[in-house]
Structure 1
């Protein structure tokens, strides 16, 4: 197995020592914050990690749909993705993804774009799993 990362976009997360669960996230030149809600001991300064996970799935879905529609020169104006996460009775994660397609698309185009949504790379990673290699460094 190739253990060398192919992703050139490193993300660094620092846990603020004095702010409970607040994490400063540096992703390239972007600065983000993650936190937990107040009832869970956080300060609610930013989205939770699961909210970021849903955002990643939604953004990837919308981008995948847009790329395909542009290649086909279909009149897609917008794709609105609404996501929910829960656990079923077996404690398996379940993501519900509602997709609203805006534009003068016929039913065949709409169905094809729904199928294409399942080609989103983040969805594939979540569906098929990933190997996570962790090591302590100095």
Structure 2
């Protein structure tokens, strides 16, 4: 497992994130930051979108299915728990991630439906769907 390091200096919110071999800049949009990179929530959605794409691609490749392209669009919003019909939280806000998946390729309906099922089984999706302990 790689260690991720986030470092911030005097630049208002520009944060450099490294994992040993790769570097990413995160920032807040103007007027708070300088919009030099994705926000922390954008990075979270990036991780989920990348994981969904990679998991579905691996599955399709293993089955030798003709998946030409998979596009995952994600948005994140915070809603008050009372406004969320399908949520079980009883206080505060609930973070809702909406996803839209577009599949291109020579696939039948059964294959497409299976790929949509697999999308919900990516490791990041599983992590975000379960209890998380941050120490």
Q: TM-score, normalised by structure 1?
A: 0.87
Counterpart of 1:15 in structure 2 is 8
Counterpart of 1:114 in structure 2 is 116
Aligned partners of 1:87, 1:61: CA distance in 2, in Å?
22
Point out where structure 1 has 5 or more consecutive residues left out of the alignment.
Answer: 1-7, 134-138
After TM superposition, where is structure 1 displaced by more than 2 Å over at least 4 residues in a row?
A: none
Point out where structure 2 has 5 or more consecutive residues left out of the alignment.
Answer: 82-92
Aligned partners of 1:85, 1:132: CA distance in 2, in Å?
21
Aligned partners of 2:123, 2:35: CA distance in 1, in Å?
29
**What is the DSSP-based 3-state SS (H/G/I as helix, E as strand, rest coil) of the residue aligned with 1:44?**
coil
Alpha-carbon RMSD:
0.9
**Deviations along 1:48-91, whole A, 9 cap, x unmatched?**
00000000000000001001101111100111000001112312
**What is the DSSP-based 3-state SS (H/G/I as helix, E as strand, rest coil) of the residue aligned with 1:28?**
coil
Q: TM-score, normalised by structure 2?
A: 0.88
Candidates 15, 25, 37, aligned match of 2:17: 25
Candidates 70, 77, 85, aligned match of 1:86: 77
1:63 has 2:54 as partner: yes
Q: Aligned pair count?
A: 124
Q: Which has the higher contact order (CA 8 A, sep 6+)?
A: 2
Counterpart of 1:97 in structure 2 is 99
